[in-house]
Structure 1
Amino acid sequence: MTILEQENRLACECDAAWRALADFGNFLPWATGGAGTARLEGEGVGMIRHLDIPGLGLVSERLDLLDDASRTLGYSLVSDNMAGMARYSATVQVISDGVGQCCLRWRGDFEPLPGVDSEEVGNSLAGSYAMMSQGLQAFVNDQT
């Protein structure tokens, strides 16, 4: 497994960012601006979100951890072959970084498919984390 750790600073309220992030089934409005479709299976920890995202295709992810006290969410890939990965799991934590600011601390563990460069996959994930962080910030600020 390869580990990618990344922090992205956001200019938005920590509690509002956590509320949006913790709503696992409501991912598309902030992550893609609403592009794509989602189908949910189950509720709470263990639920699966089946996403069809333009440019990415079908992705299914399971909610593995939802901890309000530490503002940490964990999820894992349950569909095959997303972005060159055989396996993928991640946690993201929302950390207060002062009034009106917070930090998203991402930690992704992945195994690339045979023949796929792990650095290439890591760079793709880093870009995705940055884009999702920006999307979350914009979504939260638009809601307030």
Structure 2
Amino acid sequence: MASIRKDIEIDAPAAAVWDAVRDVGQIHTRFVPGFVTDTKLEEGARIVTFANGLVVRELILDLDEDRRRLAYAVSGSEMMSHHSASFEVVPEGEGRCRLVWIADFLPHEAAEPVGGMMTEGAAIMQAALGRKGGG
């Protein structure tokens, strides 16, 4: 199984970043604007439309307020037989935090396109939530 991890430094308080991450129906406006163009909620899931035209159904597996962790899995993907991921907001002092994004998926050959999307998404998250710049 392929696994990609992104550690994203954010110049914003952990509580503010977590508030955007946990708002699972508004990721296109609060979390990754421009990278995701629309989000629709269903029972236990969200339908996410990306700027590149990709549309996926993400099952919300866990929303842990105490750990500031969101876990989700893509269902019904033609590109991948398995895809699960998580975000965790880790405080890093006054007014700063780190957003840890981990994705595990099959097949291994999807690593390049998934990694590219994650790099782009991380940069947008960083800019939308705090520091302007790379990811």
Change (3 A) 1:73 1:35: closer
Alpha-carbon distance between aligned partners in 1 of 2:110 and 2:40, rounded to the nearest angstrom: 30
Letter in 2 for 1:16: A
Among 57, 61, 75, the residue aligned to 2:54: 57
Counterpart in 1 of 2:38?
A: 37
Larger Rg: 1
SS of residue matched to 1:124: helix
Alpha-carbon distance between aligned partners in 1 of 2:121 and 2:3, rounded to the nearest angstrom: 14
Kindly indicate whether residue 126 of structure 2 is the aligned counterpart of residue 134 of structure 1: yes
Alpha-carbon distance between aligned partners in 2 of 1:35 and 1:120, rounded to the nearest angstrom: 19
Give aligned-pair identity as a percent.
25
Change (3 A) 1:80 1:8: same
SS of residue matched to 2:81: strand
Counterpart in 2 of 1:96?
A: 91
Alpha-carbon distance between aligned partners in 2 of 1:91 and 1:57, rounded to the nearest angstrom: 19
Range that drifts further, 4-13 or 27-36: 27-36
Deviations along 1:68-106, one digit per CA (max 9) or x if unpaired, are 11111101101313xx43321111100001111000111
Letter in 1 for 2:84: S
Shift of 1:118: 4.2
Structure 1: stretches of 5+ with no match in the other structure: none
Shift of 1:49: 0.8
Letter in 2 for 1:86: S
Change (3 A) 1:2 1:75: same
The TM-score with structure 1 as length reference comes to 0.78
Counterpart in 1 of 2:102?
A: 107
Alpha-carbon distance between aligned partners in 2 of 1:89 and 1:14, rounded to the nearest angstrom: 23
State the superposition RMSD in angstroms.
2.5
Kindly indicate whether residue 72 of structure 2 is the aligned counterpart of residue 75 of structure 1: yes
Shift of 1:36: 2.2
SS of residue matched to 1:94: strand
